[in-house]
Structure 1
């Protein structure tokens, strides 16, 4: 797994390493004993037990076997998979196509009751029109995905938008003003998207804020992110997808969202910016 600065990822790695180290102690062994039983260099044991190196599933099986604790192997491998899932490179997430990547997040969307989303790049997925989504996903597919299932992926994303209208859910969306004129498609697609923002923004459970372009900002634009209730943050980076569950990190993004929300305009002022962006397309 690629190294990440996220404390959520690092803490999870450390917890797994601590469990492996305790297993060695409980077996009455030391690092050299374990290395000899596994046929490894002692430095490998040291790197794994201090969370400097992520073990493989086979490493964990060998470790448990050497400690006489084979029954714990599958549980530890499950923990390993959970750590790996916190940071996923786009190429790994999308290697089977874009449809599966879209489907994978549906359970998260269905169980969430309060959504907060910020985007400095493009209109958030729950607010996108079919043609806008097709342009976004087509650009992704051309850049990094060999499987062409864009049409299916668009259909999944459109179906996911039903969460806007079901249950007692609340949504707060923030976009930078530049997003309003930064579409990948043609003027007709962008105009349709801007009209759709006006429509969805009128829903009683949906707030759409636009952060105007201006000098003297309290906070510069940041990476796009979603906050799901108070439990999880998903961050979209150039290289991959980061899942954060550490309370301190979730709180950090919640504070950032609040700061950006204070900078945004809403209601008539937001609609004026949307209208101005639409008029500029003519």
Structure 2
């Protein structure tokens, strides 16, 4: 486990480039993100706020525009016809205030626009949904690796038996999530909330 401050010692661009590699090498990825928007669906404005927070919190070199450009480049996997992503957001992700109402309004519009992409299966776990697994931090599954981002470092899980548990947890979250029209209804409700602010 390498601390973020060491991994980001030259700024945010290099780590974003590394993540692009993970995504390009994973034809079918999975992500559970309970309280923010999955990075590959973030608008430029939303990503700018997130990476600005990272730079300021960790005190690493400020290359936010370059890091954001790489995060936007990573989104090409949604449109290349070669990748598919199963993404589950917690309903809280639609309301966690990142950058204020204007940024959030634009982000909700982006989710609605991209929710029908052939490369994406987007689910939202309603706040009141009963889930057959205890609440847990968000994680991504890239092939034979489950990845967590903690406050101080990123953690990769590679042991087969642990990966199997992550797949089981993801399946339980999928069972609790709303999809298609029901997911869009939750996103539209949050869009109305941010529009009224």
TM-score w.r.t. the length of structure 1 is: 0.67
The correspondence for 2:23, drawn from 83, 99, 109, is 109
1:170 aligns with 2:84: yes
Q: Which runs of 5+ in 1 are unaligned?
A: 1-86
Structure 1 or 2: larger helix share?
1
Measured in 1, the distance between the counterparts of 2:142 and 2:85 equals 10
Runs of 4+ aligned structure 1 residues displaced above 3 Å come to none
Alignment partner of 1:124 out of 2, 20, 38? 38
How far does the alpha carbon of each residue in 1:22-70 deviate from its partner, in whole angstroms, 9 at most, with x for none? Answer: xxxxxxxxxxxxxxxxxxxxxxxxxxxxxxxxxxxxxxxxxxxxxxxxx
Q: Mapping of 1:1-282 within 5 angstroms? A: 87-214=1-128, 216-229=130-143, 231-281=144-194, 282=196
Provide the rounded CA distance (Å) in 1 between the counterparts of 2:51 and 2:91: 21
Q: As a proportion of its length, which structure holds more strand?
A: 2
Deviation at residue 168 of structure 1 after TM alignment = 2.3
Q: Within 2, Cα distance between the matches of 1:145 and 1:250?
A: 33
Greater relative contact order structure (CA < 8 Å, 6+ sep): 2
Cα distance in 2, alignment partners of residues 143 and 218 from structure 1: 34
Larger Rg: 1
Two-structure CA RMSD over aligned residues (Å): 1.3
* TM-score using structure 2 length: 0.94
Alpha-carbon distance between aligned partners in 2 of 1:216 and 1:258, rounded to the nearest angstrom? 13
| Distance of 2:188 and 2:29 partners within structure 1 | 25
What secondary structure is seen at the aligned counterpart in 1 of 2:103?
helix
Distance 2:191 2:91 in 1: 12
